[in-house]
Amino acid sequence: MTIPLLEARNVSKAFGGVHAVENVSMSIMPGEVVALLGHNGAGKSTFIKMLSGVFPADGGEILIDGKNVDIRSPHDAQELGIETIHQTLALADNLDAVSNLFLGRERTDRFGFLDVEAMEHGARQTIERMRLRIPSLDASVRSMSGGQRQAVAIARALHFNARILIMDEPTAALGPEETKNVGVLIDELKRHGLGILLISHDMHDVLTLSDRITVMKSGRVVGSFPTRDLTQDDALEMIILGRKPARFAATAV
Protein backbone atom coordinates (compact mmCIF):
# COMPACT_ATOMS: atom_id res chain seq x y z
CA MET A 1 0.00 0.00 0.00
CA THR A 2 1.25 3.46 -0.85
CA ILE A 3 1.99 5.78 2.04
CA PRO A 4 -0.07 8.98 1.88
CA LEU A 5 1.79 12.11 0.94
CA LEU A 6 -0.12 13.91 3.64
CA GLU A 7 -2.23 12.57 6.44
CA ALA A 8 -4.14 14.37 9.17
CA ARG A 9 -5.22 12.37 12.20
CA ASN A 10 -7.85 13.75 14.57
CA VAL A 11 -6.83 17.33 14.01
CA SER A 12 -8.77 19.87 16.06
CA LYS A 13 -8.95 23.61 16.53
CA ALA A 14 -11.21 25.69 18.74
CA PHE A 15 -11.63 29.45 18.89
CA GLY A 16 -12.90 30.18 22.37
CA GLY A 17 -15.94 27.94 22.63
CA VAL A 18 -16.28 27.38 18.87
CA HIS A 19 -15.00 24.00 17.71
CA ALA A 20 -14.05 25.11 14.22
CA VAL A 21 -12.37 21.78 13.41
CA GLU A 22 -13.02 18.66 15.45
CA ASN A 23 -11.12 15.40 15.07
CA VAL A 24 -10.66 15.72 11.35
CA SER A 25 -8.79 12.88 9.67
CA MET A 26 -8.02 12.73 5.97
CA SER A 27 -5.23 11.86 3.60
CA ILE A 28 -3.89 12.76 0.19
CA MET A 29 -2.02 10.25 -1.97
CA PRO A 30 0.67 11.23 -4.49
CA GLY A 31 -1.03 12.38 -7.69
CA GLU A 32 -4.42 12.67 -6.01
CA VAL A 33 -6.76 15.66 -6.03
CA VAL A 34 -8.90 15.77 -2.92
CA ALA A 35 -11.77 18.25 -2.93
CA LEU A 36 -12.81 19.62 0.44
CA LEU A 37 -16.45 20.65 0.45
CA GLY A 38 -18.75 22.16 3.02
CA HIS A 39 -21.01 25.09 3.72
CA ASN A 40 -19.79 28.42 5.00
CA GLY A 41 -18.33 27.96 8.44
CA ALA A 42 -17.83 24.19 8.03
CA GLY A 43 -14.17 24.53 9.01
CA LYS A 44 -12.45 24.18 5.63
CA SER A 45 -10.29 27.28 5.87
CA THR A 46 -9.42 26.60 9.48
CA PHE A 47 -8.31 23.11 8.51
CA ILE A 48 -6.06 24.23 5.67
CA LYS A 49 -4.63 27.02 7.80
CA MET A 50 -3.27 24.38 10.16
CA LEU A 51 -1.66 22.61 7.20
CA SER A 52 -0.16 25.82 5.90
CA GLY A 53 1.10 26.95 9.28
CA VAL A 54 -1.11 30.00 9.80
CA PHE A 55 -1.80 28.68 13.29
CA PRO A 56 -0.95 25.43 15.07
CA ALA A 57 -3.50 22.68 15.70
CA ASP A 58 -4.82 22.28 19.25
CA GLY A 59 -4.56 18.53 18.94
CA GLY A 60 -4.04 15.67 16.53
CA GLU A 61 -1.24 14.70 14.23
CA ILE A 62 -0.06 15.66 10.78
CA LEU A 63 2.11 13.21 8.86
CA ILE A 64 4.06 13.66 5.66
CA ASP A 65 5.32 10.49 3.97
CA GLY A 66 4.16 8.67 7.08
CA LYS A 67 6.29 10.75 9.42
CA ASN A 68 4.97 13.02 12.13
CA VAL A 69 5.66 16.69 11.46
CA ASP A 70 5.32 19.85 13.48
CA ILE A 71 3.92 22.78 11.50
CA ARG A 72 4.17 25.97 13.53
CA SER A 73 4.60 28.61 10.84
CA PRO A 74 4.12 29.15 7.10
CA HIS A 75 7.87 28.71 6.83
CA ASP A 76 7.64 25.24 8.42
CA ALA A 77 4.91 24.29 5.97
CA GLN A 78 6.92 25.47 2.98
CA GLU A 79 10.00 23.60 4.18
CA LEU A 80 7.86 20.47 4.24
CA GLY A 81 6.72 21.08 0.67
CA ILE A 82 3.25 22.39 1.48
CA GLU A 83 2.33 25.46 -0.56
CA THR A 84 -0.97 27.25 -0.36
CA ILE A 85 -2.55 29.36 -3.05
CA HIS A 86 -5.00 31.59 -1.27
CA GLN A 87 -8.13 32.77 -2.96
CA THR A 88 -6.77 36.28 -3.10
CA LEU A 89 -3.57 34.92 -4.75
CA ALA A 90 -1.55 37.46 -2.74
CA LEU A 91 0.31 38.78 -5.77
CA ALA A 92 2.05 42.14 -5.84
CA ASP A 93 0.22 43.79 -8.74
CA ASN A 94 2.90 46.28 -9.62
CA LEU A 95 5.62 43.65 -9.95
CA ASP A 96 6.32 41.30 -12.85
CA ALA A 97 5.96 37.52 -12.82
CA VAL A 98 9.56 36.80 -11.83
CA SER A 99 9.48 39.20 -8.87
CA ASN A 100 6.21 37.69 -7.75
CA LEU A 101 7.62 34.20 -8.01
CA PHE A 102 10.44 35.07 -5.64
CA LEU A 103 8.53 37.50 -3.44
CA GLY A 104 9.92 37.15 0.10
CA ARG A 105 12.29 34.42 -1.06
CA GLU A 106 14.51 36.42 -3.38
CA ARG A 107 17.76 34.95 -4.55
CA THR A 108 20.94 36.88 -3.94
CA ASP A 109 24.44 36.44 -5.29
CA ARG A 110 27.50 36.02 -3.10
CA PHE A 111 27.71 39.78 -2.61
CA GLY A 112 24.19 39.96 -1.28
CA PHE A 113 22.73 41.60 -4.39
CA LEU A 114 19.54 40.37 -6.02
CA ASP A 115 20.48 37.73 -8.55
CA VAL A 116 18.04 38.76 -11.26
CA GLU A 117 19.50 36.44 -13.86
CA ALA A 118 19.26 33.37 -11.67
CA MET A 119 15.69 34.24 -10.74
CA GLU A 120 14.67 34.74 -14.35
CA HIS A 121 16.31 31.49 -15.36
CA GLY A 122 14.61 29.66 -12.49
CA ALA A 123 11.25 31.18 -13.30
CA ARG A 124 11.55 30.21 -16.95
CA GLN A 125 12.41 26.62 -16.03
CA THR A 126 9.41 26.23 -13.74
CA ILE A 127 7.07 27.80 -16.24
CA GLU A 128 8.27 25.50 -19.01
CA ARG A 129 8.34 22.40 -16.87
CA MET A 130 4.74 22.95 -15.87
CA ARG A 131 3.68 24.29 -19.27
CA LEU A 132 2.21 27.34 -17.61
CA ARG A 133 0.87 29.99 -19.89
CA ILE A 134 2.37 33.27 -18.79
CA PRO A 135 2.70 35.66 -21.74
CA SER A 136 5.54 37.80 -20.52
CA LEU A 137 7.90 37.50 -17.60
CA ASP A 138 8.51 41.22 -17.32
CA ALA A 139 5.01 42.68 -17.56
CA SER A 140 3.41 43.68 -14.26
CA VAL A 141 0.89 41.08 -13.17
CA ARG A 142 -1.74 43.83 -12.97
CA SER A 143 -1.97 43.68 -16.76
CA MET A 144 -2.65 39.94 -16.75
CA SER A 145 -5.91 38.04 -16.97
CA GLY A 146 -7.30 36.08 -14.04
CA GLY A 147 -6.01 32.83 -15.51
CA GLN A 148 -2.54 34.22 -16.11
CA ARG A 149 -2.39 35.59 -12.57
CA GLN A 150 -3.43 32.18 -11.34
CA ALA A 151 -0.56 30.69 -13.36
CA VAL A 152 1.90 33.08 -11.69
CA ALA A 153 0.61 32.11 -8.24
CA ILE A 154 0.91 28.44 -9.14
CA ALA A 155 4.40 28.92 -10.58
CA ARG A 156 5.39 30.56 -7.31
CA ALA A 157 4.16 27.59 -5.33
CA LEU A 158 5.75 25.04 -7.64
CA HIS A 159 9.09 26.73 -7.98
CA PHE A 160 9.89 25.89 -4.39
CA ASN A 161 9.31 22.20 -4.94
CA ALA A 162 5.83 21.98 -3.51
CA ARG A 163 4.69 18.40 -3.12
CA ILE A 164 1.37 19.30 -1.62
CA LEU A 165 -0.59 22.13 -3.14
CA ILE A 166 -3.58 23.64 -1.38
CA MET A 167 -5.82 25.65 -3.68
CA ASP A 168 -8.57 27.77 -2.19
CA GLU A 169 -11.27 28.48 -4.80
CA PRO A 170 -8.84 28.38 -7.75
CA THR A 171 -11.48 28.96 -10.41
CA ALA A 172 -13.87 31.31 -8.60
CA ALA A 173 -12.65 34.41 -10.42
CA LEU A 174 -12.05 32.78 -13.80
CA GLY A 175 -13.92 32.59 -17.08
CA PRO A 176 -14.75 29.25 -18.74
CA GLU A 177 -11.62 29.19 -20.92
CA GLU A 178 -9.33 29.94 -18.00
CA THR A 179 -11.12 27.42 -15.80
CA LYS A 180 -10.34 24.82 -18.44
CA ASN A 181 -6.67 25.82 -18.29
CA VAL A 182 -6.62 25.30 -14.54
CA GLY A 183 -7.99 21.81 -15.22
CA VAL A 184 -5.20 21.08 -17.70
CA LEU A 185 -2.67 22.38 -15.21
CA ILE A 186 -4.02 20.23 -12.40
CA ASP A 187 -3.64 17.18 -14.66
CA GLU A 188 -0.02 18.14 -15.26
CA LEU A 189 0.61 18.49 -11.52
CA LYS A 190 -0.95 15.10 -10.88
CA ARG A 191 1.39 13.56 -13.41
CA HIS A 192 4.28 15.02 -11.45
CA GLY A 193 2.95 13.22 -8.38
CA LEU A 194 1.80 16.27 -6.45
CA GLY A 195 -1.03 15.93 -4.00
CA ILE A 196 -3.67 18.62 -4.30
CA LEU A 197 -6.23 19.78 -1.78
CA LEU A 198 -8.90 21.75 -3.57
CA ILE A 199 -11.48 23.93 -1.88
CA SER A 200 -14.26 24.93 -4.21
CA HIS A 201 -17.92 25.79 -4.13
CA ASP A 202 -18.26 24.97 -7.81
CA MET A 203 -19.76 21.50 -7.94
CA HIS A 204 -18.99 21.07 -11.62
CA ASP A 205 -15.29 21.82 -11.08
CA VAL A 206 -15.17 19.53 -8.11
CA LEU A 207 -16.77 16.64 -9.95
CA THR A 208 -14.50 17.02 -12.98
CA LEU A 209 -11.21 17.88 -11.24
CA SER A 210 -11.12 15.75 -8.10
CA ASP A 211 -10.38 12.09 -7.43
CA ARG A 212 -11.88 12.14 -3.97
CA ILE A 213 -14.45 14.27 -2.22
CA THR A 214 -14.32 14.93 1.49
CA VAL A 215 -17.24 16.81 3.01
CA MET A 216 -17.13 18.74 6.28
CA LYS A 217 -19.95 20.13 8.35
CA SER A 218 -19.73 21.90 11.71
CA GLY A 219 -16.05 21.13 12.00
CA ARG A 220 -16.36 17.40 11.38
CA VAL A 221 -15.89 15.11 8.41
CA VAL A 222 -19.25 13.88 7.13
CA GLY A 223 -17.74 11.44 4.65
CA SER A 224 -14.98 10.90 2.12
CA PHE A 225 -15.54 9.01 -1.12
CA PRO A 226 -13.97 8.51 -4.53
CA THR A 227 -15.49 11.14 -6.80
CA ARG A 228 -16.58 8.54 -9.36
CA ASP A 229 -18.78 6.88 -6.72
CA LEU A 230 -20.73 10.06 -6.00
CA THR A 231 -23.43 11.92 -7.84
CA GLN A 232 -23.90 15.63 -7.45
CA ASP A 233 -26.97 14.91 -5.30
CA ASP A 234 -24.91 12.66 -3.03
CA ALA A 235 -22.40 15.46 -2.48
CA LEU A 236 -25.15 18.01 -1.84
CA GLU A 237 -26.85 15.69 0.62
CA MET A 238 -23.64 15.42 2.62
CA ILE A 239 -23.04 19.16 2.52
CA ILE A 240 -26.57 20.22 3.42
CA LEU A 241 -27.85 17.43 5.64
CA GLY A 242 -24.47 16.46 7.08
CA ARG A 243 -24.98 12.76 6.50
CA LYS A 244 -23.76 10.14 4.06
CA PRO A 245 -26.11 9.05 1.30
CA ALA A 246 -28.18 6.10 2.55
CA ARG A 247 -26.43 3.55 0.33
CA PHE A 248 -23.09 4.42 1.95
CA ALA A 249 -24.40 4.73 5.49
CA ALA A 250 -22.88 1.43 6.60
CA THR A 251 -19.47 2.19 5.04
CA ALA A 252 -16.65 3.25 7.34
CA VAL A 253 -15.45 6.83 6.72
Ligand X SMILES: Nc1ncnc2c1ncn2[C@@H]1O[C@H](COP(=O)(O)OP(=O)(O)OP(=O)(O)O)[C@@H](O)[C@H]1O
Q: Which residues contribute to the site for ligand X (CB under 6 A)?
A: 15, 18, 20, 38, 40-46
Q: Give the separation between CA 18 and CA 14, rounded to whole angstroms.
A: 5
Given the rule CB under 5 A, which residues bind Mg ion? 45
Nearer to Mg ion, 45 or 78 (CB): 45
Residue 200 touches which of ligand X, Mg ion, none (CB < 5 to 8 A by kind)? none
CB of 57 to ligand X, least distance (A): 13
CB of 217 to ligand X, least distance (A): 9
Where would I find the beta strands (DSSP E) of 154-243?
Answer: 164-168, 195-199, 212-217, 220-226
Q: Compute how many other C-beta atoms are within 10 angstroms of the C-beta atom of residue 139.
A: 13
Residue 181 touches which of ligand X, Mg ion, none (CB < 5 to 8 A by kind)? none
CB of 39 to ligand X, least distance (A): 7
Residue 20 touches which of Mg ion, ligand X, none (CB < 5 to 8 A by kind)? ligand X
Reduced to 3 states (helix: H, G, I; strand: E, B; else coil), residue 59 is strand
Residue 15 touches which of ligand X, Mg ion, none (CB < 5 to 8 A by kind)? ligand X
3-state helix, strand, coil in the chain (%, to 5): 35, 25, 40
**56-93 per-residue burial string, b: 16 or more CB within 10 A, e: under 16:** ebeebebbbeeeeeebeebeebbebbbbbbbeebebee
Nearer to ligand X, 46 or 99 (CB): 46
CB of 4 to Mg ion, least distance (A): 23
Nearer to ligand X, 15 or 136 (CB): 15
